[in-house]
Structure 1
Amino acid sequence: MRHYELLVVVKPTLTVEELQAKLNYLKEILEKNGAVISATLEMGTRKLAYQIDKFERGTYVVFYFTAPTAAIAEVERLIRITEEFIRFMTVKFENQKELRFWNKQVEKITKKGDAPAVVESKEIVEDTVTTEA
């Protein structure tokens, strides 16, 4: 089994319940295809570098997991056909240096949460102030 990192950008229009439902769906997909999820990092809503599908913001979630190589194609196929995921990127960690980094990231995430391996960050909100002259 190989070590992977999956970054998913979810539409910002989803409610908290809908977001959790989609993340649970993604976890089910991973586990059904033989993956073992080591850590999950919810990074919150952030501004995108460029507009994607008319969205300027997106909710970032990162999964650290181990899975058989054959499972990745099926997981990516199912992510592509789910409308709520506007972008994703899968990174495979191969050599010893990369695996040390993967282990360090998982350890850091699980240490913050202590019991569960899920870290939730606060939503970043930018307010603009307009003044009338």
Structure 2
Amino acid sequence: MLKHYETVFILTPVLSQSQVEETVKKFQDFLKENASKIDHYESWGLKKLAYPIDKKKSGYYELLQFHVDEKTASKNIVSDLELQFKRDERVLRFLSVNLDKYALEYAEKRRQKIKSNQ
């Protein structure tokens, strides 16, 4: 049985573009090492925050969609990923959600719409 997840995280705005890419790659590699497969990745870029976090008014928004086979992966992959987020000082905030079948359909439609606009 596959479990699908979506994680959005915000990186500090003081990073250069190469540092942002390096940070995202770190989390992608962590997921791959723990028997997860990344379905989709999006960089939403530098956006203004709704409220200041650590005296910062903007941040780099990143989206990762991935799935895990429950039989082969560790039971706590999301909590392990969130622990990695907490340990990294470049991450301001993060949110991980389990996608149900309706959210999965919506995510797929969204991906197709993005591809068609490019």
TM-score interval (norm. to shorter):
0.7 to 0.9
SS in 2 for 1:40: strand
Q: Unaligned regions of 5+ residues in structure 2, if any? A: none
Report which of the two structures shows the higher radius of gyration computed on alpha carbons: 1
Question: What is the one-letter code of the residue matched to 1:17?
Answer: S
CA displacement at 1:109 relative to structure 2: 4.0
Q: Unaligned regions of 5+ residues in structure 1, if any? A: 114-133
User: Higher mean Cα deviation, 41-50 or 29-38?
Assistant: 29-38
Structure 2 length as normaliser, TM-score?
0.85
CA shift in 2, pair 1:61/1:50, >3 Å = same
SS in 2 for 1:14: coil
* Mapped partners of 1:77, 1:90: distance in 2: 12
SS in 1 for 2:43: strand
Q: Is residue 83 of structure 2 the alignment partner of residue 77 of structure 1?
A: yes
Sequence identity, in percent?
25
Which has the larger strand fraction? 2
CA displacement at 1:71 relative to structure 2: 1.0
The Cα RMSD (Å) is: 1.6
Q: Which residue of 2 aligns with 1:107?
A: 112
* Mapped partners of 2:116, 2:78: distance in 1: 27
CA shift in 2, pair 1:30/1:110, >3 Å = farther
* Mapped partners of 2:4, 2:114: distance in 1: 16
Aligned residues: 112
Question: What is the one-letter code of the residue matched to 2:50?
Answer: A
